[in-house]
Structure 1
Amino acid sequence: MFIRCAFFRGRVKAGMEEAFDRHVHERLVPLWTRFPGALEVRVLRQVESDVSDPELAMVLAIRWASREDIARALDSPVRCESREVSKKLFEMFDGTVFHTVFSAGEFALSAS
């Protein structure tokens, strides 16, 4: 299992929070959920942290079965569309965005 994350390190511009959230939910989530091979899409918004740096305005986490699935999605037409629609999001954001792929283990919770 693999999870590819987009880390939005920084902050949403003052007064743009609602527009940022609306753009993510109305315009981008419908595209991200169409990535071929995606098993799960999560949009994480930082509520609190035990450190002041980094400040993460958002993390997009998409789960995949294989690295080949990630490669196919990154090469897909929906990715190109997503990148174009994301330009508006970047106008509302002060910071940087970087991507990381994690290998992910899943563990059942104890029944006790």
Structure 2
Amino acid sequence: MFIRCAFFRGVIKPGRKAEFDAHIQAELVALWTRFPHVQEVRVLRQVESDTSDPHFEMVLAMRFPSREAIAEALDSKTRYASREASKRLFELFDGDVFHTVFSADEFPLPAS
């Protein structure tokens, strides 16, 4: 499996957190969960860290079965709609965003 992440490195502009969160819930989650081949969508919020820099305000993690599935998702109408809707987030955010694809192995937990 492969996980494509969008790292929001920085902070939400002062007084804009509610607007940032509302835009994610009202507009973006519906798009992110409709990407072709996506198997899971997680929005991660940094609560604590053992380092102060970098700060990740948010990480969007999307699980796909293959790199080919990611390529199809990135070439989809849904992705272009998501990019357009995401522009509002960048108005509310001080920082940068970058994407990384991870290969991921999953291991079952031992029986208790």
Name the TM-score class by shorter chain: over 0.9
The equivalent residue for 2:77 is 77
TM-score, normalised on structure 1? 0.98
Look up the equivalent residue of 1:11 and give its one-letter code: V
The answer to whether residue 25 in structure 2 is matched with residue 19 in structure 1 is no
- SS of match in other structure, 2:52: coil
The answer to whether residue 96 in structure 2 is matched with residue 100 in structure 1 is no
- C-alpha deviation, 1:21, in angstroms: 0.6
Separation in 1, partners of 2:48, 2:9: 14
The equivalent residue for 1:40 is 40
Q: Which runs of 5+ in 2 are unaligned?
A: none
- C-alpha deviation, 1:110, in angstroms: 1.4
Look up the equivalent residue of 1:18 and give its one-letter code: A
Q: Which runs of 5+ in 1 are unaligned?
A: none
* C-alpha distance after superposition, 1:7-47 (max 9, x if no partner): 00000001000110110111001000000000000000111
Number of corresponding residues: 112
- SS of match in other structure, 1:72: helix
TM-score, normalised on structure 2? 0.98
- SS of match in other structure, 2:59: strand
* C-alpha distance after superposition, 1:49-93 (max 9, x if no partner): 111011000000000000000000000001010000000110000
Separation in 2, partners of 1:61, 1:25: 15
Separation in 1, partners of 2:19, 2:48: 21
- SS of match in other structure, 1:69: helix
